[in-house]
Amino acid sequence: MERKHNPRLTDNARTLRKNMTKEERHLWYDFLRTYPVRFLRQKVIDNYIADFYCHDARLVIELDGSQHYEKHQQVYDAIRTERMEERNLTVLRIPNNEVFRHFREICDYIDLRVKEAVDR
């Protein structure tokens, strides 16, 4: 049976949790941490580390910085998203610059997607 995650990434995930970007901190501390459906930070899934993960909603949230617009990173992200979707996960990609500009709208969108998924 295939493993759910790569245990070699656990230490890296722990380091990323301790060193979140300002956008990740904002979304985590001002919304996801106290959200009524549990989210995890820097969750190892397969050979990847998802920024945020909600098991109940089968939802991954990725905050994308400017490097995600480079061609090689777009290819990597597409493969990564495809791999997660093969596990029946939904991946939401949110540009970093939108976190501060449209924070309330992003929170409402995440809330809607979680409720849709949990109510199925």
Residue appearing with tokens 């490097």: 67
Q: For the chain, 120 residues long, give each residue's pLDDT as a single digit of tens.
A: 345 666 677 766 777 778 889 999 999 999 999 999 999 999 988 888 899 999 999 999 999 875 545 666 678 888 889 999 999 999 999 999 999 999 999 999 999 999 999 986
- Helices 103-118 and 22-30, interaxial angle, to 10°? 60
Confidence (pLDDT) at 68: 45
Which of 46, 110, 32 has the alpha carbon at shortest distance from 80?
Answer: 46
